[in-house]
Chain A
Amino acid sequence: MAAPLLLKGGRVVDPSRDLDEAADVLIQDGRIAAVGLGLGAPDGATVRDVRGAVVAPGLVDVHVHLREPGNEDEETIATGARAAVAGGFTAVCAMPNTDPVTDNQAAVGFIVRQSLRAGFARVYPIGAISVGQRGQQLAEFGEMVAAGAVAVSDDGQPVASSHLMRTALEYARTFDIPVADHCEEPSLSAGGVMHEGLVATKLGLKGIPAAAEEIMVARDILLAELTGGRLHLCHLSTRGSVELMRRAKERGLRVTAEVTPHHLSLTEAACERYDTHAKMNPPLREAADVAALRQALQEGVIDCVASDHAPHAYDEKEAAFDDAPFGIVGLETAFGVAYTELVQGGALTLPQLILRMSTVPARVFGLPGGTLQPGAPADVVALDVTAGWCVDAARFHSKSRNTPFAGRSLTGRAALTLVAGEIVHDAPAAAQA
């Protein structure tokens, strides 16, 4: 076991205990040993000066695509986990739309083994809802959970069959895992490549109406009420979805939701000039949607921020808008975008942002982490929220570069990331090397 580590002089923000104060954090044996002012360093301890930084529980991303197995040229579990810690994430949940699909215990076990071999962030597999994500037969939730899956989802594909969604919510109750749905009514979205609105009309691109998402959000909420299952709604993008979520929460249903940094900061206007780095599903919507999503996150109507990190090879995005794949990378820009847009933008306080990027997502998916409570695993991030930095996709640890934020000036990035007390990302050290 590594020597004890004392993080000295930081501002400790731990939303799990409503803590926001100057304090030291002592880490011993991979766990948080103590949090307090003027802590002494035990014998042999490494002391790390983190004055000026924010020390917080490591960020947790419940929605990433790591492309392994199947598309290792775009990302691997190792490169994705490395990108995660560079972005301040100590745990990520990997979606099952791999090739082959992660729809059985052996496939789930493979992801667990690959992530242990890689180190860096903890990687929790999400199993498929249906075999092959074909939307017909339920996958074996029980065996997948036993192998390490923390949720099920057919993300990338909507669950078109209401019957399948119903049975998934019911069947998942035995294992008390959330069923995460990508809400998209496929007959309404078919052929669509961006938000259906004025920009799509001007560009002559087929739109995806807000109703394509909202119909499924409404359906899923009704099914959650019918079944008593745990429903998690992925990457909400419309103000109508926010209203449906608000009503679901008022009714006390077990429904949670996430929103991405890009849906909180960009609109359909980013697609102008056919920029394929602004092509994602659900699409970027309108300014009124962005405003509603921000307010919902602030109020807790939307529970957490998730990146929907979706790596693609550079030449796949180098195509006509219709032909380019959906999705962007997000692990290494998520905190910077969220801090710059939401905290500096005045929508959220820093503790609220940490709550929505660490404590709550860990709780929603039942993961360890999201807290600096003594005794908890030492998954910790020291965040630099003072220095500005410019997004240079060529320096990403991710294998892919497909980001609409390239060249953007952001504030907020991970200076130091610890997983189980081990330093897995050290920005100042890397800069000196």
Chain B
Amino acid sequence: MTAGLGKDLIGLERLSPDQIRLILDTAEPFKEVSERPIKKVPALRGKTIVNLFFESSTRTRISFEFAEKRLSADTVNVAATGSAVQKGETLVDTAKNLEAMRIDMVVIRHASSGAAQFLGDRIRSNVVNAGDGKHEHPTQALLDLLTIRDKLGRIEGVKVCLVGDILHSRVARSNIWGLTKLGAQVAVCGPHSLMPRGIADLGVTVLRRVEEAIEWADVLNVLRLQLERMEAGFIPSLREYYRVFGVTVERLAKAPRALAVMHPGPMNRGVEIDSRVADGPHSVILDQVTNGVAVRMAVLYLLAGGKPELADAAKGPAAGGTD
């Protein structure tokens, strides 16, 4: 397969299984770059990338920035606070101004679903969605897929359960698209007040209790419970949430098989996940973070028109010789 990704990466809903596999396969050679003493390859030299973060983010922004810098792109970070956005500039004006500066790519994080699509439809630069509202967070799901493939050797047939606030989760939506397209079995588990309408129509099983999820799954992807959900009346208390839905050591002890536990971060220890689980042998949470940089390098490289078969060569000679 030689087809690329198109101009933008908005979500996994519109990618084919082959396109998703292409990204994962392209990420493999890039993993090694981060293990070098000099973590830099010239693949995107001369490209300018703007990281446009309308919503605060630490992990995703830093991960993108490392991916860009390790590919030798020139990057600028724009955070909503203190920028023209805070002074009332509209998204369309921001888009036009970026276009006028002749940048090559925009990585956008925004609180409104559809913001990445909106930008992508209006500028010629490549747009990468780094999370838009409750819609999608495609690079997070891609790094989750890569982590599952690393740990279990395959994705097809693997049973993955997303646990927690599915209603408000862009991570859940992107994971559902990516996993189902690659042939995994997907379940969701959480309070029904945090379950979106029609979710089963996306090809997922809805599990009522976290104990069922643990009994069923090969992988648990535990989602962050935003504290404001309690204030909005979706759940009575964080304490009860932990009692009913928390992924604890005691519950995992009853798992019939070895389970991998993932979390997109940032974690609320003692709310959705027991600290002993997060830091314990089931956890692959830090592998996810490591894979995040490689996956984002692959996405940026492919969108910039890089040839997947040349990804290895594009790395250039590693410091200290080729391997």
- Residue B234 is within 8 A (CB to CB) of chain A in the complex: no
* Pair B136/A274 contact, Cβ less than 8 Å: no
* Pair A201/B199 contact, Cβ less than 8 Å: yes
* Pair A198/B197 contact, Cβ less than 8 Å: yes
Find chain B residues with CB under 8 A from A430 CB.
Answer: none
- Residue B40 is within 8 A (CB to CB) of chain A in the complex: no
Find chain B residues with CB under 8 A from A200 CB.
Answer: 196-197
Contact of A315 among B92, B112, B198 (CB under 8 A): B92
* Pair B92/A202 contact, Cβ less than 8 Å: no
Question: Chain B 125-144 against A: per-residue CB contact (8 Å), 1 yes, 0 no?
Answer: 00000001111100000000
* Pair A321/B92 contact, Cβ less than 8 Å: no
* Pair A204/B135 contact, Cβ less than 8 Å: yes
* Pair A321/B197 contact, Cβ less than 8 Å: no
Task: Tell me the bound Cα distance from A204 to B90 in angstroms.
Answer: 21
Contact of B112 among A197, A201, A207, A323 (CB under 8 A): A323
- Residue B91 is within 8 A (CB to CB) of chain A in the complex: yes
Find chain A residues with CB under 8 A from B170 CB.
Answer: 204
Task: Tell me the bound Cα distance from A321 to B115 in angstroms.
Answer: 8
* Pair B202/A201 contact, Cβ less than 8 Å: yes
- Residue A196 is within 8 A (CB to CB) of chain B in the complex: yes
Find chain B residues with CB under 8 A from A207 CB.
Answer: 197
- Residue B110 is within 8 A (CB to CB) of chain A in the complex: yes
Question: Chain A 184-225 against B: per-residue CB contact (8 Å), 1 yes, 0 no?
Answer: 000000000000111011111111010000000000000000
How close is A165's CB to chain B, nearest CB, in angstroms? 25
What is the number of residues of chain A that contact chain B, defined by CB distance less than 8 Å?
A: 21
Find chain A residues with CB under 8 A from B92 CB.
Answer: 315, 318-319
Within 8 A of A (CB), among B98-121: 110, 112-115, 117-118
Find chain B residues with CB under 8 A from A117 CB.
Answer: none
Find chain B residues with CB under 8 A from A318 CB.
Answer: 90, 92
- Residue A170 is within 8 A (CB to CB) of chain B in the complex: no
Task: Tell me the bound Cα distance from A223 to B259 in angstroms.
Answer: 57
- Residue A20 is within 8 A (CB to CB) of chain B in the complex: no
Find chain A residues with CB under 8 A from B198 CB.
Answer: 197-198, 201
| With contact pairs A197-B197, A198-B197, A205-B134 given, residues A320 and B114 touching in the complex (Cβ less than 8 Å) | yes
How close is B306's CB to chain A, nearest CB, in angstroms? 27
How close is B167's CB to chain A, nearest CB, in angstroms? 9
Within 8 A of A (CB), among B158-214: 170, 173, 196-199, 201-202
Of all chain B residues, the one with the shortest Cβ separation from A198 is B198
| With contact pairs A318-B92, A319-B90, A320-B115 given, residues A201 and B196 touching in the complex (Cβ less than 8 Å) | yes
B interface: dominant SS = mixed
Find chain B residues with CB under 8 A from A29 CB.
Answer: none
Find chain A residues with CB under 8 A from B13 CB.
Answer: 202
Of all chain B residues, the one with the shortest Cβ separation from A191 is B232
Find chain B residues with CB under 8 A from A322 CB.
Answer: 112-114, 133
* Pair B197/A274 contact, Cβ less than 8 Å: no
Find chain B residues with CB under 8 A from A204 CB.
Answer: 113-114, 132-136, 170, 173
Task: Tell me the bound Cα distance from A323 to B85 in angstroms.
Answer: 14
Find chain B residues with CB under 8 A from A206 CB.
Answer: 134
Find chain B residues with CB under 8 A from A202 CB.
Answer: 13, 173, 202
Find chain B residues with CB under 8 A from A17 CB.
Answer: none
Task: Tell me the bound Cα distance from A200 to B113 in angstroms.
Answer: 10
How close is A338's CB to chain B, nearest CB, in angstroms? 30
Within 8 A of B (CB), among A59-109: none
Of all chain A residues, the one with the shortest Cβ separation from B136 is A204
How close is B121's CB to chain A, nearest CB, in angstroms? 8
Task: Tell me the bound Cα distance from A315 to B89 in angstroms.
Answer: 12
Find chain B residues with CB under 8 A from A209 CB.
Answer: 197
How close is B16's CB to chain A, nearest CB, in angstroms? 17
* Pair B110/A320 contact, Cβ less than 8 Å: yes
| With contact pairs A315-B92, A319-B91, A322-B133 given, residues A203 and B197 touching in the complex (Cβ less than 8 Å) | no
Task: Tell me the bound Cα distance from A258 to B132 in angstroms.
Answer: 37
- Residue A251 is within 8 A (CB to CB) of chain B in the complex: no
Find chain A residues with CB under 8 A from B173 CB.
Answer: 202, 204
- Residue A163 is within 8 A (CB to CB) of chain B in the complex: no
Contact of B113 among A196, A274, A315, A319 (CB under 8 A): A274
Task: Tell me the bound Cα distance from A207 to B197 in angstroms.
Answer: 9
How close is A271's CB to chain B, nearest CB, in angstroms? 10
Find chain A residues with CB under 8 A from B115 CB.
Answer: 320
Contact of A321 among B90, B114, B201 (CB under 8 A): B114
Task: Tell me the bound Cα distance from A206 to B168 in angstroms.
Answer: 9
- Residue A395 is within 8 A (CB to CB) of chain B in the complex: no
Question: Chain B 257-285 against A: per-residue CB contact (8 Å), 1 yes, 0 no?
Answer: 00000000000000000000000000000
How close is A118's CB to chain B, nearest CB, in angstroms? 33
Task: Tell me the bound Cα distance from A214 to B13 in angstroms.
Answer: 33
* Pair B114/A203 contact, Cβ less than 8 Å: yes
Of all chain A residues, the one with the shortest Cβ separation from B199 is A201
| With contact pairs A274-B118, A318-B92, A322-B133 given, residues A203 and B113 touching in the complex (Cβ less than 8 Å) | yes
Find chain A residues with CB under 8 A from B132 CB.
Answer: 204
Of all chain A residues, the one with the shortest Cβ separation from B201 is A198
Find chain B residues with CB under 8 A from A319 CB.
Answer: 90-92, 118
How close is B93's CB to chain A, nearest CB, in angstroms? 10
Of all chain B residues, the one with the shortest Cβ separation from A205 is B113
Find chain B residues with CB under 8 A from A205 CB.
Answer: 113-114, 133-135
| With contact pairs A198-B201, A273-B117 given, residues A203 and B91 touching in the complex (Cβ less than 8 Å) | no
* Pair B135/A203 contact, Cβ less than 8 Å: yes
Other A-B contacts than A209-B197, A320-B91, A320-B118, 8 sampled, CB-CB below 8 A, are A201-B198, A203-B113, A203-B114, A204-B114, A204-B173, A320-B110, A320-B114, A322-B114
4 closest residue pairs by CB, A with B: A204-B135, A204-B134, A274-B114, A198-B198
> B residues touching A (Cβ–Cβ < 8 Å)?
13, 90-92, 110, 112-115, 117-118, 132-136, 170, 173, 196-199, 201-202
> A residues touching B (Cβ–Cβ < 8 Å)?
196-198, 200-207, 209, 273-274, 315, 318-323
- 9 A-B residue pairs with Cβ-Cβ distance under 8 Å, sorted by A, are A196-B197, A200-B196, A204-B114, A204-B173, A205-B114, A205-B135, A315-B90, A320-B115, A323-B112
